[in-house]
Amino acid sequence: MSQRIPVGIVGCGPAGLFLAHLLHRAGIESVILENRSREAVEGTIRAGVLEHWVTELMREMGLGERMAREGHFHTGITLQYGPNRFHLDMEELTGGKRVTVYPQHEVLIDLIGARLADGGTIHFGVSETAFHDVDTDTPRITFRHADGTPDELRCDYVVGADGFHGPGRQAIPAADRREYSKTYPFGWLGILARAPTSWHELIYARHEDGFALLSTRSPEIQRLYIQCDPRDDIANWPDERIWAALHRRLETAGDWRLAEGAIFQKGIIPLRSFVCETMRHGRLFLAGDAAHIVPPTGAKGLNLAVADVLVLSRALEEAIRRNRTDGLDSYAATALRRIWKAERFSWMMTTMLHRDDTETAFEHRIRMADLDFLAGSRNAQAALAENYVGLPFEA
């Protein structure tokens, strides 16, 4: 059963799928291994904001048709604190760039469908996935197919696009890894509700009770979040309590009212920042959440994963086609410059907009001054918008 392929990829999330598509476009074959079922991958609800260049890339690759039809193009965001509500016109502040609200699992559905239609291979439901010989010229990935049959991929290069808990990062010796992390003392309680649209763009709100975010999925389905204790049990949050918190935190400006509806999905996620500075070991490369995590406040997770593999795909193409490895040698350094800027932005948005009981009264006042400055300064707004729509790529 064992086969030899140029690139073996573990993980069928945004990083693994975009990489497989970019390599295919360059005429390089790859195989994706995924431990979850296709249904689980396509059904897991995640954040939904695509940076301007990601939507352009999808369009250019012929993957943007449904997104163009069903995605919501937002020209700005609304920010609130206390009784103040202000609009950031991102399109105007960035010279014409927008973001698209199109949920991650919809992107995955489109990319999986297109990959299989192109004749690509994705093995779902695999187990016991392990990297071997990554510091030799013949790295391997062993695994069991969904039916239990053992198998092996012999590769020229292997990629861990397998998320924070996958085997990719662990295949790098601990002594060679430099890891940086920050755990926030709060989490997000997220809901999906069958409710009409309450506002034409996203609302990020700082309230004395804690953060709240209003987002959307479609004209009939809304996505909303409230800050909560990350260790809290979702059982403590009956629907009425969630709506009461949302009304209180979001309805602070004028007579605007939030429309309610039936909640059909709810859950609590912790917030964390994490960077593994070593993104390569021999012929193993890490991409996406395997190497870095951002809190969702900046909506950067998927975008950062795609940015990694855009750099990595070019480097792999040069190595495989032209035997030039300088792109692979500089991959981690190039990717990390963008990663740290997204980490900074996500941390800044998170600290500015959340209630943090571990902060001093002084720090609290500084956060309020951050928001006040932002509300009144076009330069501050332009800096936020530049990050939100996606920083340009540097050489």
What is each CA distance from 277 to 104, 121, 282, 292, 345, in whole angstroms? 25, 30, 15, 9, 18
The yes-or-no answer on residue 74 being catalytic is yes
Q: Shortest approach of ligand PHB to residue 186 CB, angstroms?
A: 14
Which of helix, strand or coil describes residue 78?
Answer: strand
b/e map 33-42, b = 16+ CB within 10 Å: bbbbebeebb
Q: Does 296 bind ligand PHB (CB under 6 A)?
A: yes
Q: Shortest approach of ligand PHB to residue 301 CB, angstroms?
A: 9
Q: Which of 47, 122, 293, 304 binds ligand PHB (CB under 6 A)?
A: 47
Residues 150-169 that bind ligand PHB (CB under 6 A): none
The yes-or-no answer on residue 184 being catalytic is no
The yes-or-no answer on residue 204 being catalytic is yes
Residues 203-232 that bind ligand PHB (CB under 6 A): 215, 223
Alpha carbon distance 62, 146 (integer Å): 31
Alpha carbon distance 165, 162 (integer Å): 7
Q: Does 77 bind ligand PHB (CB under 6 A)?
A: no
Kindly state the DSSP code that residue 75 receives in the 8-state scheme. S
Alpha carbon distance 210, 205 (integer Å): 8
Residue closer to ligand PHB, measured from CB, 139 or 298: 298
Q: Shortest approach of ligand PHB to residue 316 CB, angstroms?
A: 30
Q: Shortest approach of ligand PHB to residue 49 CB, angstroms?
A: 5
Residue closer to ligand PHB, measured from CB, 202 or 304: 202
Size of residue set near ligand PHB by CB under 6 A: 10
HSE-CB at 39 with a 13 A cutoff on CA atoms is 0
Looking at 102, 157, 331, 388, which residue is catalytic? 388
Q: Does 195 bind ligand PHB (CB under 6 A)?
A: no
Alpha carbon distance 238, 359 (integer Å): 29
Exposed, middle or buried, 76 (CB in 10 Å: 0-12/13-18/19+)?
Answer: buried
Residue closer to ligand PHB, measured from CB, 47 or 54: 47
The yes-or-no answer on residue 296 being catalytic is yes
Exposed, middle or buried, 122 (CB in 10 Å: 0-12/13-18/19+)?
Answer: buried
Which residues are near ligand PHB by CB under 6 A?
47-49, 101, 202, 215, 223, 296-297, 299
Q: Which residues are catalytic?
A: 74, 204, 296, 300, 388
